Amino acid sequence: MPELPEVETIVRGLNHKVVGLKIKGAWTDWAKTIKTHSLDKFKREINGRKILRAHRRAKYIMLDLSGGKTLIIHQKISGHLLYGKWEVDGKKVKPAMAGPIKSDPFNRFIRFILYLSNGYMLGLSDVRRFGKVFLGDTDKVENINEIGRLGPEPLDLKFTLAKFKELMRRKRGVVKKVLMDPFVIAGIGNIYSDEILWYAGVMPLRRVEKLTDKELAEIYKYIKFILKKAIGAKGNSQQDYRTLEGKFGNYQNMQKAYQLTGEKCQKHDGGTIKRLVVGGRSAHFCSVHQK
């Protein structure tokens, strides 16, 4: 699933590409994608509205529209938003432009399209069809789905070390699972929890209530560091995710733990990367320096 760095990369691309454009229509081959309206009503509601800005909350992409509406997209497990051109024939979609949107097979599963006033489109490629689209009042987005219950944004200036320690001291359980809980901290998933804990030198199976202040400070430091580094790399394209242009992110070439089972630890400490299952999700860690 795209995590905070991947979603932030998409949002930055949207602010560059689509702000100021009007929405001219919509299409989907999977009516369940749109959660708040029927397709016909959805099209009536969004037609002619101008895109004012793109932002995000956790892994939710938000497009504020004229007239006090906000379009919300959650890409879910296998979805990623693309900016390009497609030809639509009933439920069949094919790229109408050259480049990675056409050549990369991970970009071919277009399930939802927004038509834009400049002739381009926003398309949601989603092989598993789990992506969700919502439309609501801008001043009431907190009421949509789970948004109002989400934890703080880890890159927000208000997310201080003191705030992080306060959150952690109220929790019990395995530290990897706590970091991945969107109602504790927004936007950290399987990839970046592994990476954060590798850098911090903390075993994913450690109980959060038993971590020292020093260990919490290290985790906090590397939450900020890793998320910023991954955004700079335009995310991780080891699996389905691609940028808005359909290109690869680069963080998969920088990772230290995630899906590197059996490889030597890059700290050159004599350890190897091991894998365990934590709450149904894989955890990757060094057998030596993570304690």
Domains of the chain, by residue range, sit at 4-149, 161-286
Q: Please give the average per-residue pLDDT across 83-93, as a whole number.
A: 96
Segment (H or E) for 190: helix 190-200
Quick check: do 4-149 and 161-286 share a fold? Answer: no
The pLDDT score that the predictor gives to residue 76 is: 94
Q: What is the pLDDT of residues 61-74, one digit of tens each?
A: 999 999 999 999 99
Q: What is the pLDDT of residues 229-250, one digit of tens each?
A: 999 999 999 999 999 999 999 9
The pLDDT score that the predictor gives to residue 34 is: 97
Residue 1 has pLDDT above 90, yes or no: no
Residue 278 has pLDDT above 90, yes or no: no
What is the phi/psi pair of residue 72, to 5°? -120, 130
Q: What is the pLDDT of residues 2-59, one digit of tens each?
A: 999 999 999 999 999 999 999 999 999 999 999 999 999 999 999 999 999 999 999 9
3-state secondary structure of 8: helix
CA 228 remoteness from chain centre: 14
**Whole-angstrom distance, CA of residue 135 vs CA of residue 118:** 22
Percentage with pLDDT > 90 across the chain: 97
Catalytic residues: 2-3, 59, 281
Residue 168 has pLDDT above 90, yes or no: yes
- Considering the domain 4-149, what is its CATH architecture? Alpha-Beta Barrel (3.20)
Residue 145 has pLDDT above 90, yes or no: no
- Considering the domain 161-286, what is its CATH architecture? Orthogonal Bundle (1.10)
> What does pTM read for this prediction?
0.96
**Whole-angstrom distance, CA of residue 65 vs CA of residue 141:** 13
Percentage with pLDDT > 70 across the chain: 100
Pairing of β 273-278 and β 69-74? unpaired
- The residue among 80, 75, 72, 77 whose CA lies nearest residue 56 is 72
The pLDDT score that the predictor gives to residue 229 is: 99
Contacts by 192-195 with C-beta closer than 8 Å and gap 24+? 192/3, 192/4, 192/5, 192/226, 192/227, 192/230, 193/283, 194/255, 194/257, 194/258, 194/283, 194/284, 194/285, 195/222, 195/226, 195/230, 195/255, 195/256, 195/257, 195/258
* Cβ atoms within 10 Å of 54's Cβ, excluding its own: 20
